Amino acid sequence: MKRGKYALNQSALYKCGSKKRLAEILGIPLEILKENAENPQYHIVYKPKKNSTEKRKINAPGKTLKRIQGKIYKKLRYVKRPKWVMAGEKGKNWPDNAEFHKDSCYVLKFDIANFFPNCGREYVYRFFLNRLKCAPDIAEILTDLTTYHGCIIQGSPVSMVLAFYAYEKMFDELANLADENSLLFSTYVDDLTFSSKNQIQKDKLIKIVNKKLHAYDHKSKSKKEMYYGKTKYKKITGVILYPDHVSKVPNRIRLKIKRSLAAAKEAEKEGNVKQANDLKKELVGTIYSARQIEKNIFPEALNYAKQQVS
Protein backbone atom coordinates (compact mmCIF):
# COMPACT_ATOMS: atom_id res chain seq x y z
CA MET A 1 0.00 0.00 0.00
CA LYS A 2 1.30 3.43 -0.98
CA ARG A 3 2.31 5.45 2.06
CA GLY A 4 1.21 9.08 2.29
CA LYS A 5 3.36 12.06 3.18
CA TYR A 6 3.01 13.88 6.49
CA ALA A 7 4.22 17.02 8.26
CA LEU A 8 7.56 17.09 10.09
CA ASN A 9 5.77 17.31 13.45
CA GLN A 10 4.22 13.91 12.70
CA SER A 11 7.61 12.19 12.52
CA ALA A 12 8.23 9.65 15.26
CA LEU A 13 11.39 11.59 16.16
CA TYR A 14 9.44 14.80 16.84
CA LYS A 15 9.82 15.92 20.49
CA CYS A 16 11.76 12.80 21.41
CA GLY A 17 12.68 13.45 25.03
CA SER A 18 14.70 10.50 26.26
CA LYS A 19 17.37 8.10 25.04
CA LYS A 20 15.18 5.18 26.05
CA ARG A 21 12.42 6.50 23.80
CA LEU A 22 14.92 7.08 20.96
CA ALA A 23 16.05 3.46 21.21
CA GLU A 24 12.41 2.33 21.00
CA ILE A 25 11.69 4.55 17.98
CA LEU A 26 14.73 3.32 16.06
CA GLY A 27 14.41 -0.28 17.23
CA ILE A 28 18.08 -0.31 18.26
CA PRO A 29 19.32 -1.15 21.79
CA LEU A 30 20.41 1.98 23.66
CA GLU A 31 23.91 0.64 24.34
CA ILE A 32 24.50 0.13 20.63
CA LEU A 33 23.29 3.67 19.90
CA LYS A 34 25.65 5.09 22.54
CA GLU A 35 28.58 2.99 21.30
CA ASN A 36 28.14 4.15 17.71
CA ALA A 37 27.63 7.76 18.73
CA GLU A 38 30.79 7.78 20.85
CA ASN A 39 32.93 5.72 18.50
CA PRO A 40 31.50 5.86 14.94
CA GLN A 41 33.09 3.46 12.48
CA TYR A 42 33.72 4.59 8.90
CA HIS A 43 35.84 3.32 6.02
CA ILE A 44 36.94 4.99 2.80
CA VAL A 45 35.45 3.89 -0.52
CA TYR A 46 35.70 5.35 -4.02
CA LYS A 47 32.48 5.66 -6.01
CA PRO A 48 31.96 6.96 -9.56
CA LYS A 49 30.75 10.53 -9.78
CA LYS A 50 27.31 11.00 -11.30
CA ASN A 51 27.53 10.61 -15.08
CA SER A 52 31.33 10.69 -14.98
CA THR A 53 34.33 8.40 -15.26
CA GLU A 54 35.92 10.13 -12.26
CA LYS A 55 35.64 8.70 -8.75
CA ARG A 56 34.72 10.42 -5.51
CA LYS A 57 36.27 9.65 -2.11
CA ILE A 58 33.54 8.80 0.39
CA ASN A 59 33.53 7.98 4.10
CA ALA A 60 31.12 5.04 4.26
CA PRO A 61 29.61 4.02 7.61
CA GLY A 62 30.23 0.57 9.04
CA LYS A 63 27.44 -2.02 8.92
CA THR A 64 25.84 -1.24 12.29
CA LEU A 65 26.14 2.52 11.96
CA LYS A 66 24.70 2.40 8.44
CA ARG A 67 21.73 0.45 9.79
CA ILE A 68 21.16 3.09 12.47
CA GLN A 69 21.43 5.92 9.94
CA GLY A 70 18.99 4.06 7.70
CA LYS A 71 16.51 3.91 10.59
CA ILE A 72 16.84 7.67 11.12
CA TYR A 73 16.29 8.23 7.41
CA LYS A 74 13.11 6.15 7.48
CA LYS A 75 11.69 8.44 10.16
CA LEU A 76 12.21 11.41 7.82
CA ARG A 77 11.65 9.73 4.46
CA TYR A 78 7.89 10.33 4.24
CA VAL A 79 7.89 13.88 5.60
CA LYS A 80 6.49 16.40 3.10
CA ARG A 81 9.14 18.54 1.44
CA PRO A 82 8.84 21.20 -1.26
CA LYS A 83 8.32 19.96 -4.82
CA TRP A 84 11.65 21.56 -5.80
CA VAL A 85 13.63 19.14 -3.59
CA MET A 86 14.81 16.33 -5.85
CA ALA A 87 17.47 14.41 -3.89
CA GLY A 88 16.63 11.80 -1.27
CA GLU A 89 12.97 11.81 -2.33
CA LYS A 90 11.10 8.58 -2.95
CA GLY A 91 10.10 8.38 -6.61
CA LYS A 92 12.53 11.11 -7.70
CA ASN A 93 16.01 10.88 -9.18
CA TRP A 94 18.51 13.04 -11.06
CA PRO A 95 16.62 12.86 -14.42
CA ASP A 96 13.54 14.27 -12.66
CA ASN A 97 15.54 17.37 -11.80
CA ALA A 98 16.11 18.04 -15.50
CA GLU A 99 12.51 17.13 -16.35
CA PHE A 100 11.34 19.79 -13.88
CA HIS A 101 12.88 22.46 -16.16
CA LYS A 102 12.03 20.81 -19.47
CA ASP A 103 9.65 23.51 -20.72
CA SER A 104 11.99 26.41 -19.89
CA CYS A 105 14.02 28.25 -22.52
CA TYR A 106 16.65 29.83 -20.27
CA VAL A 107 18.60 28.10 -17.51
CA LEU A 108 21.08 29.29 -14.86
CA LYS A 109 22.97 26.62 -12.87
CA PHE A 110 25.08 26.68 -9.72
CA ASP A 111 27.17 23.99 -8.05
CA ILE A 112 27.82 24.43 -4.33
CA ALA A 113 31.52 23.85 -3.66
CA ASN A 114 32.43 20.96 -1.31
CA PHE A 115 28.85 20.79 -0.13
CA PHE A 116 28.88 17.89 2.32
CA PRO A 117 32.26 18.74 3.92
CA ASN A 118 30.88 22.24 4.53
CA CYS A 119 27.57 21.05 5.99
CA GLY A 120 28.57 21.78 9.56
CA ARG A 121 27.70 19.79 12.65
CA GLU A 122 26.12 22.81 14.34
CA TYR A 123 23.49 23.15 11.59
CA VAL A 124 22.60 19.47 11.99
CA TYR A 125 22.32 19.83 15.75
CA ARG A 126 20.02 22.87 15.37
CA PHE A 127 17.75 20.87 13.08
CA PHE A 128 17.27 18.09 15.62
CA LEU A 129 16.97 20.58 18.49
CA ASN A 130 14.87 23.38 16.98
CA ARG A 131 12.94 21.84 14.08
CA LEU A 132 12.38 18.33 15.44
CA LYS A 133 12.28 19.75 18.99
CA CYS A 134 14.25 16.86 20.46
CA ALA A 135 15.71 17.20 23.95
CA PRO A 136 19.28 18.61 23.88
CA ASP A 137 20.89 15.26 24.76
CA ILE A 138 18.81 13.51 22.06
CA ALA A 139 19.76 16.15 19.48
CA GLU A 140 23.38 15.58 20.50
CA ILE A 141 23.34 11.81 20.06
CA LEU A 142 21.45 12.05 16.74
CA THR A 143 24.05 14.56 15.53
CA ASP A 144 26.87 12.25 16.64
CA LEU A 145 25.26 9.38 14.73
CA THR A 146 24.89 11.35 11.49
CA THR A 147 28.04 13.50 11.31
CA TYR A 148 31.76 12.73 11.28
CA HIS A 149 34.71 15.06 11.75
CA GLY A 150 32.31 17.96 12.14
CA CYS A 151 30.26 17.55 8.96
CA ILE A 152 27.62 15.47 7.20
CA ILE A 153 29.01 12.33 5.61
CA GLN A 154 28.30 11.81 1.92
CA GLY A 155 28.12 8.01 2.17
CA SER A 156 25.33 7.96 4.76
CA PRO A 157 21.77 6.83 3.90
CA VAL A 158 20.39 9.93 5.63
CA SER A 159 22.87 12.49 4.24
CA MET A 160 20.77 13.94 1.38
CA VAL A 161 17.65 14.53 3.47
CA LEU A 162 19.65 15.72 6.46
CA ALA A 163 21.64 18.21 4.36
CA PHE A 164 18.36 19.72 3.16
CA TYR A 165 16.98 20.10 6.67
CA ALA A 166 20.25 21.42 8.10
CA TYR A 167 20.19 24.20 5.49
CA GLU A 168 16.45 24.44 4.98
CA LYS A 169 16.41 28.20 5.56
CA MET A 170 19.08 28.70 2.89
CA PHE A 171 17.19 26.62 0.34
CA ASP A 172 13.93 28.38 1.22
CA GLU A 173 15.57 31.74 0.60
CA LEU A 174 16.75 30.55 -2.82
CA ALA A 175 13.26 29.27 -3.65
CA ASN A 176 11.75 32.60 -2.57
CA LEU A 177 14.29 34.41 -4.75
CA ALA A 178 13.10 32.34 -7.70
CA ASP A 179 9.46 33.15 -6.94
CA GLU A 180 10.23 36.87 -6.69
CA ASN A 181 11.77 36.72 -10.17
CA SER A 182 9.13 34.41 -11.71
CA LEU A 183 11.63 31.58 -12.09
CA LEU A 184 11.49 27.82 -11.56
CA PHE A 185 13.91 26.53 -8.93
CA SER A 186 15.11 23.07 -7.96
CA THR A 187 17.89 21.55 -5.92
CA TYR A 188 19.56 18.17 -6.32
CA VAL A 189 22.01 17.95 -3.39
CA ASP A 190 24.61 20.59 -4.36
CA ASP A 191 23.16 21.41 -7.80
CA LEU A 192 20.98 24.53 -7.92
CA THR A 193 18.95 25.22 -11.06
CA PHE A 194 16.93 28.31 -11.97
CA SER A 195 14.99 28.48 -15.22
CA SER A 196 12.39 30.47 -17.11
CA LYS A 197 10.63 30.77 -20.45
CA ASN A 198 11.90 34.35 -20.48
CA GLN A 199 15.42 35.75 -20.27
CA ILE A 200 17.05 35.71 -16.84
CA GLN A 201 18.95 38.64 -15.35
CA LYS A 202 21.87 36.32 -14.79
CA ASP A 203 24.48 38.78 -13.44
CA LYS A 204 22.08 40.08 -10.81
CA LEU A 205 20.95 36.58 -9.85
CA ILE A 206 24.50 35.22 -9.61
CA LYS A 207 25.41 38.00 -7.20
CA ILE A 208 22.36 37.45 -4.98
CA VAL A 209 22.68 33.66 -4.94
CA ASN A 210 26.32 33.82 -3.91
CA LYS A 211 25.49 36.30 -1.16
CA LYS A 212 22.86 33.94 0.24
CA LEU A 213 25.21 30.94 0.06
CA HIS A 214 27.96 32.86 1.87
CA ALA A 215 25.54 33.71 4.68
CA TYR A 216 25.41 29.97 5.44
CA ASP A 217 29.14 29.29 5.03
CA HIS A 218 28.76 27.92 1.51
CA LYS A 219 29.92 29.17 -1.87
CA SER A 220 29.34 28.45 -5.53
CA LYS A 221 31.96 27.00 -7.86
CA SER A 222 32.39 29.99 -10.14
CA LYS A 223 33.60 27.79 -13.03
CA LYS A 224 30.33 25.84 -12.88
CA GLU A 225 28.01 28.83 -12.92
CA MET A 226 26.43 28.14 -16.30
CA TYR A 227 23.89 30.17 -18.22
CA TYR A 228 22.09 28.66 -21.21
CA GLY A 229 20.16 30.73 -23.73
CA LYS A 230 17.11 29.74 -25.71
CA THR A 231 18.96 28.00 -28.57
CA LYS A 232 21.57 26.25 -26.41
CA TYR A 233 21.76 22.60 -25.37
CA LYS A 234 21.32 22.61 -21.59
CA LYS A 235 23.01 20.09 -19.28
CA ILE A 236 21.14 19.58 -16.00
CA THR A 237 22.27 16.83 -13.58
CA GLY A 238 23.61 14.66 -16.38
CA VAL A 239 20.68 15.15 -18.78
CA ILE A 240 20.89 17.14 -22.02
CA LEU A 241 17.83 19.28 -22.72
CA TYR A 242 17.59 20.09 -26.41
CA PRO A 243 16.30 23.50 -27.59
CA ASP A 244 13.07 21.74 -28.62
CA HIS A 245 12.65 20.61 -24.96
CA VAL A 246 13.51 16.94 -25.56
CA SER A 247 15.68 15.13 -22.99
CA LYS A 248 18.69 13.18 -24.31
CA VAL A 249 21.54 11.07 -22.93
CA PRO A 250 24.86 12.98 -23.08
CA ASN A 251 27.20 12.00 -25.94
CA ARG A 252 29.85 11.08 -23.38
CA ILE A 253 27.60 8.35 -21.95
CA ARG A 254 26.65 7.13 -25.42
CA LEU A 255 30.33 6.82 -26.29
CA LYS A 256 31.05 5.02 -23.01
CA ILE A 257 28.34 2.45 -23.78
CA LYS A 258 29.68 1.87 -27.31
CA ARG A 259 33.23 1.44 -26.06
CA SER A 260 32.16 -0.91 -23.25
CA LEU A 261 30.17 -2.96 -25.75
CA ALA A 262 33.19 -3.25 -28.05
CA ALA A 263 35.47 -4.18 -25.13
CA ALA A 264 33.07 -6.87 -23.91
CA LYS A 265 32.83 -8.42 -27.39
CA GLU A 266 36.60 -8.36 -27.75
CA ALA A 267 37.08 -10.04 -24.35
CA GLU A 268 34.52 -12.71 -25.25
CA LYS A 269 36.17 -13.29 -28.61
CA GLU A 270 39.54 -13.81 -26.92
CA GLY A 271 38.07 -16.23 -24.38
CA ASN A 272 38.48 -13.95 -21.34
CA VAL A 273 35.28 -15.14 -19.65
CA LYS A 274 35.57 -13.24 -16.36
CA GLN A 275 36.57 -9.99 -18.04
CA ALA A 276 33.74 -10.30 -20.56
CA ASN A 277 31.14 -10.97 -17.86
CA ASP A 278 32.43 -8.12 -15.69
CA LEU A 279 32.25 -5.74 -18.65
CA LYS A 280 28.74 -6.94 -19.48
CA LYS A 281 27.58 -6.44 -15.91
CA GLU A 282 28.93 -2.89 -15.93
CA LEU A 283 27.37 -2.29 -19.33
CA VAL A 284 23.92 -3.35 -18.10
CA GLY A 285 24.14 -0.83 -15.26
CA THR A 286 25.22 1.99 -17.58
CA ILE A 287 22.42 1.28 -20.05
CA TYR A 288 19.76 1.14 -17.33
CA SER A 289 21.07 4.45 -16.01
CA ALA A 290 20.83 5.95 -19.50
CA ARG A 291 17.29 4.58 -19.82
CA GLN A 292 16.19 6.81 -16.98
CA ILE A 293 16.59 9.58 -19.57
CA GLU A 294 15.72 7.77 -22.84
CA LYS A 295 13.44 4.83 -22.09
CA ASN A 296 14.38 2.37 -24.85
CA ILE A 297 17.92 3.38 -25.75
CA PHE A 298 20.46 0.69 -26.83
CA PRO A 299 18.09 -2.35 -26.92
CA GLU A 300 20.48 -4.64 -28.82
CA ALA A 301 23.43 -3.77 -26.57
CA LEU A 302 21.32 -4.47 -23.48
CA ASN A 303 20.18 -7.86 -24.77
CA TYR A 304 23.78 -8.78 -25.53
CA ALA A 305 25.06 -7.58 -22.14
CA LYS A 306 22.46 -9.65 -20.27
CA GLN A 307 23.84 -12.87 -21.78
CA GLN A 308 26.60 -14.10 -19.51
CA VAL A 309 29.52 -16.01 -21.03
CA SER A 310 29.94 -19.55 -19.70
Residue 52, pLDDT score: 59
The CA radius of gyration of the chain, in Å to the nearest whole number, is 22
What percentage of the chain reaches a pLDDT higher than 70?
96
Q: Residues 113-128: pLDDT tens digits?
A: 999 999 999 999 999 9
Average pLDDT, the chain: 93
Q: What is the pLDDT of residue 3?
A: 62
Sign of CA dihedral 286, 291, 294, 298: positive
What is the domain partition of the chain in residue ranges?
Answer: 8-241, 249-306
Q: How many CA atoms lie within 13 A of 148 on its CB side?
A: 21
Q: By C-alpha distance, which of 182, 169, 175, 174 is closest to 208? A: 174
Amino acid in the structure at residue 210: N
CA angle 77, 164, 229 (to 5 degrees): 115
Percent of the chain with pLDDT over 90: 86
pLDDT beyond 80 at 158 = yes
Task: Provide the sign of the torsion angle of the four alpha carbons 168, 87, 96, 7, taken in this order.
Answer: negative
Query: Do the beta carbons of residue 270 and residue 262 sit within 8 Å?
Result: no
- At 283-293, the pLDDT tens digits run 999 999 999 99
- State the average pLDDT over residues 64-75: 97
CATH code for the domain defined by 8-241: 3.30.70.270
Q: In what order do the strands lie in the sheet with 247-248?
A: 234-236, 239-241, 247-248
Position 51 pLDDT exceeds 60: no
Q: Are 155 and 33 in contact (CB under 8 A)?
A: no
As a whole number of Å, the end-to-end CA separation of the chain is 41
Amino acid at 168: E
How does pLDDT run across 229-263, given as a tens digit for each residue?
Answer: 999 999 999 899 999 999 999 998 999 999 999 99
Contact indicator for 125, 141 with CB cutoff of 8 Å: no
Q: Which of 44-48, 98-102, 147-151, 206-210 is least confident? A: 44-48
Average of per-residue pLDDT across 65-89: 95
Spatial distance between the Cα atoms of 191 and 123, rounded to a whole number of angstroms: 19
In terms of phi and psi (left: phi > 0; alpha: psi -120 to 50; beta: otherwise), the region of 257 is alpha
Mean pLDDT of 142-149: 96
Mean pLDDT of 16-24: 97
Helix/strand/coil percent split, the chain, to 5? 45, 15, 35
pLDDT digit string, tens, across residues 164-203: 999 999 999 999 999 999 999 999 999 999 999 999 999 9
- Lowest mean per-residue pLDDT among 46-50, 154-158, 222-226, 253-257: 46-50
pLDDT tier at 163, thresholds 50, 70, 90: very high
SS3 18: coil
Q: What is the DSSP letter of 28?
A: S
Q: How confident is the model at residue 23 (pLDDT cuts 50, 70, 90)?
A: very high
pLDDT-derived band at 44, boundaries 50, 70, 90? confident
pLDDT for res 122: 98
pLDDT at 308: 77
- pLDDT above 60: residue 1: no
Residues 12 and 73: beta-carbon distance below 8 Å: no
Sequence letter at residue 63: K
Return the pLDDT at 91: 82
